[in-house]
Amino acid sequence: MRALRPVLLAAAFGAALVTLPATVGGQSDPAVVMMQRINARLARSGMKIAAESIEFFSIGDGRPAARIHQQGFRWVANDTRRLAQGDNLTYLVDQSDGNTSSGLTTAQTEAAIDRAYATWNAQKALQKINLVKLEDPGQDPDIFDAFVEPEGSFGGFGFPFFADIVNAGWLPREFFEAAGGPGGGRGILAFSITFVFTEDDGETPTDINADNYLDAAMSEVYYNDTFGNAATDRVGNPWAINQELPAVDVETVALHENAHSLGLGHFGPNPIAVMNPSYAGPRHLPFASDRAAMNALYASWPK
């Protein structure tokens, strides 16, 4: 584990928090239970961050999200706790896991992710904010993979503040089965997990700018390499560049998942939108509903 730079003391979170139950239909929700386990570990470490929400993007029916609290999260401009670059939000692409079993190279997948960011950056709703790419530091930039059971099988505990959003690459089916619960390895294309800052107790989220949203600390996006893998039952759905179904378009999935990292949730299946929870083929431009939701998030940026 690399030595972590200190994070500054978080201010108290004033609004009443509602913690959601760790059940779905009376059954344990594996994703929430997993986040609670991770948060207990993080609290003991004294890092003052906690996993808050996971947003899944699936083929076919699937559970779209899991979260700890009812409140949403937002990024705070100039937040020194996450080593913010002023009013910018930063992202990077971890090049160590960029190849896919379906034959795409790291250069191809990284370019597709960059195009997705360029699309969001060009939106009027984000005219007061820059989404800035940072280069891969050559060191482990993510932490969530270190906690997925069996722990240590999918990656080590990296440094979480190289960038605000880390596209962490293509991981095996077992990773998504563990993160999403039974069947997750077959249906989940990708997911984003967002962490928020906490008070000293490691549990209570902060709201330092009093906007009634939890303060985002970092977000990580993971892609499922079982799609297109010749050894699996998903060989017929390969990761691809701008191809129709049954292929899976990298840029579309990156546009969707990184919007979660920016703060958007799912909606639909109607109206048709980039942020519908199920994959429906290439969508490289936001729809009106996507633009309206993004505008609602960033109209007041920076507060």
In which band, very low, low, confident or very high, does the pLDDT at 13 lie, cut at 50, 70 and 90? Answer: very low
Q: Say what the pLDDT of residue 153 is.
A: 94
Q: Compare 152 and 26 and report the one with higher pLDDT.
A: 152
* Domain parsing of the chain, residue ranges: 23-298
Predicted confidence (pLDDT) per residue in 230-243, tens digit: 999 999 999 999 99
Query: Cα dihedral sign for 240, 117, 55, 4?
Result: positive
- Tell me the residue type at 150: P
112 vs 118, 182, 242, CA distance in Å?
10, 29, 9
In which band, very low, low, confident or very high, does the pLDDT at 279 lie, cut at 50, 70 and 90? Answer: very high
Pairwise CA distance, residues 57 & 189, whole Å: 6
Q: Say what the pLDDT of residue 270 is.
A: 87
Tokens of 46: 């004294």
Residues above pLDDT 90, as percent of the chain? 83
In which band, very low, low, confident or very high, does the pLDDT at 16 lie, cut at 50, 70 and 90? Answer: very low
Omega cis (within 30) before 277: no
Full-model pTM = 0.92
Pairwise CA distance, residues 183 & 177, whole Å: 6
Indicate the CATH number for domain 23-298.
3.40.390.10
- Break the chain down into helix, strand, coil percent, rounded to 5: 25, 20, 50
Largest alpha-carbon pair distance within the chain?
A: 52
Predicted confidence (pLDDT) per residue in 206-233, tens digit: 999 999 999 999 999 999 999 999 999 9
